[in-house]
A and B are shown apart, each in its own frame.
Chain A
């Protein structure tokens, strides 16, 4: 791992370093934009298939260019700024939404040969490269930081519009995103425990040994629960159905971006779909071994990595679309209950269990006993929590009766 300081000092502005840096940035930028274009088309097409409709079918073969047409249309629409808007913040907000969405992808290893304990690096043009933009020591925390910053885009957009529905939408959205970020972070802790590192490259490497290629993946190694929590929290973090209360049309017109039009609206749209792609990629990296998979040829192992990575991401993209097509929207109090009273306690409990298992491994205790005691502890804790919630409801009911009765 290259220390940042040494890296900064050894950075040569005239060398290949700069060229590779720029090339990687341009590549990621282009790939993300194209993937968003295809994702929007994919979503519309799959949803229409699930609802027995045809979907976009005019622009290009199978309507694949529909998003491009929509983008061009948005580009030429009139750009409105409401009278009551805070002009500067109103114009800043879309970028605050978009830039974190781009930066998040920087830490994802997209390709590379991780089979047989290889570290996924390739030698191109006399350089040892990792096929990801950066691999900072804080790794996945960058993802958390960026998703934290993404909240500002939504929050400020609603506030700066100077209108009540966007404000309500943005308050809802930011409360939802902050709440589910806690569950997201706690399920990440389980991954850190198993990989012993925050770096995404190390996380992928730690998942490579196990039976049948897939045995080492965190989704199995951590016992499904952290993955399920991460998937639910990620869906809520993305404001995707069934957690799309942010733009609940019946209640809030269009949510935080009601007052946005033209290019500024399309930036929000872009950020939203880019986040879906990035979140799927992060999930693949954390729980499904990233680009790890069987390499069937002698050379060009990195390309196989790219293929496996792409296929795995595609599965999650499909899952998100599937959620949208099948699940009805939650009510807001149900959403908060799910996040605070179920996901966070469960993530904490499961993390303790994994920690106990790790200690058992070091001390040589009997695993079955540890699991039994741990599950019993989680069950008892759950009972206690349910009791406490029930009791709180009772107290509130009493006070309400006193107040109104």
Chain B
């Protein structure tokens, strides 16, 4: 058994046990921790196939940012109290889950079928671009993204920006139409206070209240 197979087996074990843990853990925070374990195992799998950059990005983006956000939501919104599982939050969610689960299983079976049995060797017919040995994968990736697919890349970037702006707009929707600022508030100098640098939001709030009362 070469070291490569050894590393593969261990990381596969990490990935699978983590995935089981995500589903079976009773506590959302524990599930999130198991998710990190799975992501980490996948990163090691990337390393085994020489995809160093993907491995690093896997940890930086998924483990370092996305699961952190999950944890934020779980901790701050108090979802860590046990939920009533009998209530379906979205109607039709469960049947759909079965359907998509079956679809993913079918997809995986198809992939396994297209390669050489269970050893995972690539079938003769599969088109694959083998990079020249020794070139770091980041160079190959960068060349592909910024030459052949530069337009797709830019559009994806724009899409993400639009999504962020949209999220901010939706989260900060102001109730009702904007009215002109009342004269009383203008006179009391509240706006000047708020506009001046280094004002705390808390202080703003207090000032605004006072201004309204006067």
Interface residues of A (CB under 8 A from B): 1, 3-6, 8-9, 11, 86, 88-89, 92, 136-138, 141-142, 144-145, 147-149, 151-152, 155-156, 159, 167, 171, 174-175, 178, 181, 197-199, 331, 333-334, 390, 393-405
* Docked CA distance A11–B48 (Å): 14
- What are 5 A-B contacts defined by CB distance under 8 Å? A156-B29, A174-B72, A396-B194, A401-B185, A405-B208
On whether the beta carbons of B134 and A331 are closer than 8 Å, the reply is no
Shortest A362–chain B CB gap in Å is 15
**Chain B residues with CB below 8 A from A400, complex form:** 204-205, 208
B72 touches A397 (CB 8 A): no
A151: chain B residues within 8 A (beta carbon): 64, 68
Report the stretch among B51-59, B100-108, B115-123 that lies at the interface: B51-59
CB distance from A272 to the nearest CB of B (A): 19
Extra inter-chain contacts (8) besides given A4-B50, A86-B29, A181-B64, CB under 8 Å? A3-B133, A145-B60, A174-B71, A394-B191, A398-B178, A400-B208, A402-B179, A404-B205
A20 and B179 CA atoms in complex are apart in Å by 73
CB distance from B8 to the nearest CB of A (A): 10
- Across the interface, A9 reaches (CB within 8 A) one of B4, B30, B76, namely B4
User: Which residues of B are at the interface with A, using a C-beta cutoff of 8 A?
Assistant: 2-4, 7, 27, 29-30, 33, 36, 47-50, 52-53, 55-57, 59-60, 63-65, 68, 71-72, 75-76, 133-134, 136-138, 174-176, 178-179, 181-182, 184-185, 190-191, 194-195, 198, 200-201, 204-205, 208-209, 211-212
Q: Is the CB of A397 within 8 A of B190?
A: yes
Measured CA separation A136–B44 after assembly (Å):
13
Q: Say yes or no: A138-B64 contact (C-beta < 8 A), given A174-B72, A401-B182, A401-B185.
A: no
CB neighbours of B198 from chain A (8 A) = 334
Cα A199 to Cα B56 with chains together (Å) = 13
Choice from A152, A174, A197, A331 contacting B200 with Cβ under 8 Å: A331
Q: A9-B4, A141-B60 are in contact. Are A152 and B36 (CB under 8 A)?
A: yes
Q: How far is the CA of A261 from the CA of B9 in the complex (A)?
A: 38
